[in-house]
């Protein structure tokens, strides 16, 4: 039982990186980006290929990040330069990545049409084994430690980045494009940078996942965006009072861990794992409805607050 919780938590920490990536496109840029589904597999396939070539696993993770950035840039260019609507631009990149991922994995085996790549023969060259050996821990503890360290680092870097001029421009782009252009912000560029960062993180999450589970599979990304959204929604529900950006990001990691632990428990209790996707969808639907409901209640009080502000302002003006 404890094992199940720990394994759920360690997977949650890996998927949290994906959820942070989805947060950048979905919440900050206001861009429903489906590139995500192909991108997590892209990260996994790139990392698997490199580990087969006996490249150091840390380098494999970094290269996967860069590959994800490129996928994000492609979606961004399809949208901003070729004027393709966001959802379609993401779907086009996602579907192209399906073929590309198979090509990447085929490079490792030398057989065309390789749809999955096992790391069984290379398990000594996997990040988790290496960290475990280095720290003298078992694989599960290493996964938790590594997961926490990576999440803290990513949150810290994102917090710093979104406090810079470029980061602030990206936030403003998701908020009001017209105002951005009037203030001299190239909104095409900010969208592309945001999507690159988002998909880089998603691919990074894929590269960690493939090392954790010991294989990359062309279908492993199906439903990934829904899982990311579920983590974001759970995190926001728990950290609903959070104003600070760092707390919001932390909430997403917590949401992702909670999601995975619940999934682990549900499967443990006997639900077939193939029903997981519909369960996730139902959770997201329920959460969206409930937040809509709570927002209505919340909005009433915040509207009152706003009215009060406006009244105060009028008083001052008049």
Chain positions contacting other proteins, by CB under 8 A:
161, 163-169, 171-172, 175-176, 178-187, 305-306, 309-310, 313-314, 316-318
Residue 121 or 241: which CB sits closer to other proteins? 241
Closest distance to other proteins from the beta carbon of 300 (Å): 16
Closest distance to other proteins from the beta carbon of 301 (Å): 13
3-state DSSP assignment of residue 119: coil
Q: CA–CA separation, 137 vs 223, rounded Å?
A: 32
Q: CA–CA separation, 147 vs 17, rounded Å?
A: 9
Q: CA–CA separation, 305 vs 123, rounded Å?
A: 58
Q: Token digits for 211?
A: 């090392």
Query: Do residues 201 and 154 lie in contact, with contact meaning Cβ atoms separated by under 8 Å?
Result: yes
Q: Token digits for 276?
A: 């997981």
Residue 47 or 192: which CB sits closer to other proteins? 192
Closest distance to other proteins from the beta carbon of 307 (Å): 10
Residue 56 or 311: which CB sits closer to other proteins? 311
Closest distance to other proteins from the beta carbon of 26 (Å): 14
104-120 burial, b at 16+ Cβ within 10 Å, e below that, comes to: bbbebeeeeebebbebe
Residue 53 or 176: which CB sits closer to other proteins? 176
Residue 27 or 139: which CB sits closer to other proteins? 27
3-state DSSP assignment of residue 209: helix
Side-chain-side CA neighbours of residue 188 (13 Å): 9
Residue 136 or 184: which CB sits closer to other proteins? 184
> Taking the CB of residue 222, how many other CB atoms lie within 10 A of it?
14
Closest distance to other proteins from the beta carbon of 298 (Å): 14
Closest distance to other proteins from the beta carbon of 199 (Å): 20
3-state DSSP assignment of residue 117: strand
Q: CA–CA separation, 170 vs 187, rounded Å?
A: 8
Q: Any idea what DSSP says for residue 53?
A: T
Residue 110 or 318: which CB sits closer to other proteins? 318
Closest distance to other proteins from the beta carbon of 251 (Å): 17
Question: 212, 200, 202: which is closest to 147 by C-alpha?
Answer: 212
Query: Do residues 204 and 18 lie in contact, with contact meaning Cβ atoms separated by under 8 Å?
Result: no
The phi, psi pair for 217, rounded to 5°, reads: -135, 140
Closest distance to other proteins from the beta carbon of 248 (Å): 12
Stated as kind and residue range, the H or E segment containing 173 is helix 165-175
């Amino acid at each position: 039982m404890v094992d199940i919780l720990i394994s759920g938590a360690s997977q949650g920490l890996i998927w949290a990186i994906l959820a942070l990536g989805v947060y950048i496109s979905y919440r900050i840029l206001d861009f429903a980006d489906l590139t995500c589904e192909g991108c997590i597999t892209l990260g996994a396939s790139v990392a698997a290929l490199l580990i087969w070539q006996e490249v150091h696993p840390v380098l494999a993770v970094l290269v996967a990040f860069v590959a994800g950035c490129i996928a994000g840039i492609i979606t961004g260019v399809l949208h901003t330069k070729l004027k393709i609507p966001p959802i379609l631009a993401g779907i086009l990149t996602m579907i192209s990545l399906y073929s590309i991922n198979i090509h990447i994995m085929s490079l490792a085996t030398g057989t065309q049409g390789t749809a999955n790549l096992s790391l069984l023969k290379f398990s000594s060259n996997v990040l988790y084994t290496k960290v475990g050996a280095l720290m003298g821990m078992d694989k599960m503890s290493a996964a938790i430690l590594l997961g926490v360290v990576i999440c803290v680092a990513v949150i810290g870097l994102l917090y710093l980045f979104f406090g810079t001029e470029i980061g602030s421009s990206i936030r403003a782009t998701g908020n009001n494009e017209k105002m951005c252009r009037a203030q001299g912000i190239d909104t095409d560029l900010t969208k592309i940078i945001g999507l690159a960062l988002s998909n880089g993180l998603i691919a990074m999450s894929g590269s960690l996942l493939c090392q954790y589970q010991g294989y990359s599979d062309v279908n492993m990304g199906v439903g990934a965006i829904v899982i990311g959204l579920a983590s974001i929604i759970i995190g926001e529900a728990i950290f609903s009072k959070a104003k600070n950006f760092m707390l919001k990001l932390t909430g997403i990691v917590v949401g992702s861990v909670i999601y995975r632990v619940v999934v682990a428990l549900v499967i443990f209790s006997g639900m077939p794992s193939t029903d997981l996707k519909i369960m996730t969808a139902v959770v997201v639907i329920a959460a969206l409805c409930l937040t809509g409901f709570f927002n209505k209640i919340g909005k009433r009080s915040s509207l009152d607050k706003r009215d009060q502000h406006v009244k105060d302002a009028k008083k001052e003006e008049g």
